[in-house]
């Protein structure tokens, strides 16, 4: 028996006020150690089709997977510092040794579409907090075990960690060209 998403209390956002207090938003690590993720507004709960906004905090040493996606992505670092790893070339069989860029408070960067990347809190003792904008939610992520894995072997994770529970429940609402 399938329970529609709108009958699961925390998958229901329609009843919430238009203007919401982020301070009260539920945080979760969605099974990823050192992560705190909040979807500020997005596809699965809010029904947005074109943009989604996240607030993410990485504890020291924690990081995103090595991954790529065909959507656009913009980061703004609110607090802390770390390293952006970015594959040098889209046209090889595999990402190969990434370029490294320091990221710092008030810095911003955009990830080229389909570029393989990873964001890592390389600081010793401060959290890395970022706002992340993506297009065409919900995000479809291809994950690499390492930088030498061929693109063709990267594994699709969809729905992504934070979309998983409510997405499955509301799957019928989506027409996605997966």
Which residues sit at the interface with Zn ion, rule CB under 5 A?
73
User: Which of its own copies, Zn ion, none interacts with 41 (beta carbon under 5 to 8 A by kind)?
Assistant: its own copies
- Tell me the Ramachandran region of residue 47: left when phi exceeds 0, alpha when psi lies from -120 to 50, beta otherwise: left
Region from 16-24, 61-69, 120-128, 159-167 binding its own copies, contact rule CB under 8 A: 16-24
Q: What DSSP designation does 30 have? A: T
For residues 4 and 8, give the distance between their C-alpha atoms in angstroms, rounded to a whole number.
7
For residues 75 and 134, give the distance between their C-alpha atoms in angstroms, rounded to a whole number.
9
Q: Spell out, one character per residue from 112 to 151, where the chain touches its own copies: x when CB under 8 A holds, - when not.
A: -------------------x-xxxx---------------
Element (H, E) at 53: strand 51-58
Q: How far is the CB of 148 from its own copies (least distance, A)?
A: 22
Q: Return the residue nearest Zn ion (CB atom).
A: 73
Using DSSP's 3-state secondary structure scheme, residue 44 falls into helix
Q: What DSSP designation does 47 have? A: -
Q: How far is the CB of 2 from its own copies (least distance, A)?
A: 28
Name residues contacting its own copies, limited to 149-178 (CB under 8 A). Answer: none
Please select the residue that binds its own copies; options are 18, 31, 152, 172, rule is CB under 8 A. 18
Tokens of 154: 């990267």
Count other Cβ atoms within 10 Å, centred on residue 148: 11
Point out which residues bind its own copies (CB under 8 A). 17-23, 40-41, 46, 48-51, 53, 71-72, 74, 76, 84, 86, 101-104, 106-110, 131, 133-136
């Amino acid at each position: 028996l399938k329970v529609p998403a709108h009958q699961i209390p925390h998958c229901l956002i329609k009843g919430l006020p238009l203007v919401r207090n982020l301070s009260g938003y539920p945080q979760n690590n969605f099974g990823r150690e050192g992560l705190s993720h909040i979807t500020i507004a997005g596809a699965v709960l809010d029904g947005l089709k074109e943009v989604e906004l996240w607030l993410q905090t990485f504890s020291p040493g924690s990081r995103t997977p090595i991954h790529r996606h065909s959507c656009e992505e913009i980061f703004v670092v609110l607090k802390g510092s770390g390293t952006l790893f970015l594959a040098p070339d889209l046209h090889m069989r595999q990402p190969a040794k990434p370029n490294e860029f320091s990221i710092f408070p008030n810095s911003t960067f955009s990830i080229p579409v389909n570029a393989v990347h990873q964001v890592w809190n390389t600081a010793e003792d401060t959290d890395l907090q970022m706002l992340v904008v993506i297009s065409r939610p919900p995000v479809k992520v291809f994950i690499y075990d390492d930088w030498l894995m061929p693109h063709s072997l990267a594994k699709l994770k969809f729905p992504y960690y934070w979309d998983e529970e409510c997405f499955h429940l509301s799957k019928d609402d989506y027409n996605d060209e997966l």
